[in-house]
Structures are given as structure tokens and as C-alpha cells.
Structure 1
Amino acid sequence: MSLRPVHRTVGLTQYRTSPAQGVLQRGRGGVFVIMMLAAGSLGQASSAASDVTEEIITLSSGDTAQLQEVIEDASGMAPVARFRFVAPWVADGAEYDRVTADMEELCQSYALGRLPDLRARPSLIVISLSQAPTDFGVPSPEITQFFESYSLNDGRCVWEPF
């Protein structure tokens, strides 16, 4: 099996972002929380470690997040900007409300300020927090991850269900 770039394989994969039984629904519902702790390969996580930048953001909750990468996707109907952060503390049983507040803060205070640097103005921003670096589009069930999407309205991030 040969590897193809992610942008050509999205939609062709058998893996889905949410389990067939539905997603964890607390608070706002619709957040995708992947908390499957299985024996897995740590090699995948370490192979993505070189993508992690030195930029560390201190959040108002007191925790930190480190930018892994920004992925722009203009191939769909609307441009999407994915801001992927590494935050090891999400694996320590972080409270859902605290995590979503931190993700909204990352959208408002970090992602919005970086939009002028992007090639296309996105209509949707996706913020992800992961306990360790991961390769985009590659299932990593052993890594805890949180995802939220936000539309842009009057210069503000507005939470959108997936």
C-alpha cells in the first residue's frame, strides 16, 4: 500500500471522526472527544514531534498549549483553517467545560490574530488540543484529543457543532 497525501485521502478512509454509537454529549454537545486508551504505537506520535513549534501559549485556566501546526484547506465548499495544539494536560482527566473554554480562548486570542497570515480567509476555524503530537488524518486512538469548530462572525469566533 502506498501512502498518498492527506488531501487526496480525506473522505476515502474507513475511519470516522465519531463512533457509530454517537459522541459524548455534555454541555454543548457535538464536541468530538477521542479518549480511547489502547496499546498503540508511540512511534506515530514521536514522528510528528518535529512539527511542533517552540511557541507556547499560556491560557487563562493556567494551563499551556503548544502550537503543532496550522493546516489550511480550501478544497471544500468553504476554506477551513485548522490550528492544532499539543496540550499534555488534556489526558489527565481535564474537565470538559474547562477544555472548551480554553479552546474558545485559543480561537479568539490566537487564531483570529493569525488569519491575515493565511493564504485564504477561512469561513471555519477548527481548534484541536491533543495530549501529544499526531499526524493529521491518521487515527491515533491512544492519544486523547478534543476538537471544536468555529465560524467567524463580526470578528469573533462562534462555536459551531460538527
Structure 2
Amino acid sequence: MQGLARGFMVALLMSAFARPVSAQDGAGVLVPVPSGQEVRWIDTISDAPGPGGLTMRFRFLAPQIGGEGPLDADLAATDMQALCDEFALPRLPVIGPRPAQVIISLSDRVVPFGETDEEAVQFFEAYSVVNGLCEWELF
């Protein structure tokens, strides 16, 4: 009986990580970054596989990357590294499969996942988790 209950709990935890986490779950939280720009968490997508298998996408709203005097790509890359190290890593599942890749995205406006917006400014970076650290990958 204990094995069945334990299996049910693992399945329940896995289903919780398989769905997008969004505004209803606390999104919109201000997340500090090295550049000092205002960055807010939009959501986390884990049910859309990437090229290497399980991928977790952490999406952030960063209005300054597209406005007047836009933030440059180098500062955005530094911010995305910090978001991976300090925001994404602590939120990766500790039970079940570990993601093969973590993708951090910054967007100057909210764009629904999988849709395009020609007006939007977006930056994406991909990372592998190696020895508990985010290691940048060529995207």
C-alpha cells in the first residue's frame, strides 16, 4: 500500500511541474537583476519539449529592452545569466526528470507562448545545468 501511495505522490508532483505556471500562481513578481532594470516573471513553461528533451522556459517581462534608450544585448545577457542562476535553478524539480535545458527569455511585452509579435523585442538564452550551475549554450 505504501508503494502505491508513494507512486501517486510522485505522479501528482510530476503533473504539477508539467503545466505552465502563470499569473494565477504568483507571476508578475519583481525579480532583481544586475542591470537594475525592472524585470517581472511572466510564467514557466515545462510542457513543450526542446531539442534535447525536457526543457523549462522561464519567461520574463522587461519593458526597458524595447523602449527609448533600449537596454543592449550584453546587459540583457548578464541579466539572463543571473535569472538562470538565481531564479530558475532553485525552481527546477528535485524529484523526477531534470530538464536537459533551461531557456530564459526577456520580452518588452507579454507575448503568449508559441505566438509571434512583430512589434515585440525579445531576447532568449539557453543554458545547461552542469554541476548545479547554469552554463550558457549557443542557442
| TM-score > 0.5, shorter chain as reference | yes
- What aligned pairs does 1:29-108 form with structure 2 within 5 A after superposition? 53-73=27-47, 75=49, 77-92=52-67, 93-108=70-85
Query: What percentage of aligned pairs have identical amino acids?
Result: 38
Once superposed, what is the RMSD of the aligned Cα atoms? 2.4
Give runs of ≥4 in structure 1 deviating > 6 Å: 48-52
Mapped contact 1:68–1:85 kept (Cα < 8 A) = yes
Aligned partners of 1:118, 1:65: CA distance in 2, in Å? 29
Q: Which of the pair has more CA radius of gyration?
A: 2
- The residue aligned with 1:122 is 99
Contact 1:74 1:120 survives alignment (8 Å)? no
- The aligned counterpart of 2:15 is none
Change (3 A) 1:75 1:102: closer
Secondary structure of the structure 2 residue equivalent to 1:122? coil
Residue equivalent to 2:108: 131
Structure 2 residues not aligned, in runs of 5+: 1-21
**Count of residue pairs brought into register by the alignment:** 115
Question: What SS does structure 2 have at the residue aligned with 1:62?
Answer: coil
Q: C-alpha separation between the residues in 1 aligned to 2:109 and 2:24?
A: 12
Structure 1 gap segments, 5+ residues each: 1-47
Q: Which has more helix, going by share of residues?
A: 2
Structure possessing the higher relative contact order (Cα contacts under 8 Å, 6 or more residues apart): 1
Task: Tell which deviates more after alignment, 143-152 or 91-100.
Answer: 91-100
Alignment match, 2:119: 142
1:121 is displaced (CA, Å) by: 1.6
State how far apart, in whole Å, the 2-side matches of 1:74 and 1:120 are.
Answer: 14
